[in-house]
Amino acid sequence: QVQLVESGGGLVQPGGSLRLYCAASGSIFSIYAMGWYRQAPGKQRELVAAITSGGSTNYADSVNGRFTISRDNAKNTAYLQMNSLKPEDTAVYYCNADVRSTYNRRGDYWGQGTQVTVSS
């Protein structure tokens, strides 16, 4: 099995910062890409940021310049540093990974989500 677990969410005031963590474990041979998605109430899930094993990144326009995605390939861990948070950033944040398993199968895996609430 492959499991992704997010942590680091919470309540923060506008303008504040949070750092999210995503730890992947299980039958992992390699992870080609990892990403963060979010889903706000009444809205579809959207891509926030993604990073490849080589370090290439892309961001949603709404977070570009405020959020930074990073990863530790040796630890199969991804991070999302969120600065200058806005109320519209409030959502459940999900980690996603493009995984090559030890069974030599490539697939997409999701974490359970962590709540981020930005409110005064």
How far apart are the C-alpha atoms of 38 and 21, rounded to whole Å? 14
pLDDT in tens, 45-76: 999 999 999 999 999 999 999 999 999 989 99
SS3 62: coil
Give me the mean pLDDT over the 94-117 stretch. Answer: 96
Does 36 score more than 90 pLDDT? Answer: yes
pLDDT of residue 1: 87
* Closest alpha carbon to 59 in 70, 43, 75, 74: 70
pLDDT in tens, 11-27: 999 999 999 999 999 99
Which pLDDT belongs to residue 79? 97
Residue 115 has pLDDT above 90, yes or no: yes
Instruction: Name the average pLDDT for the chain.
Output: 96
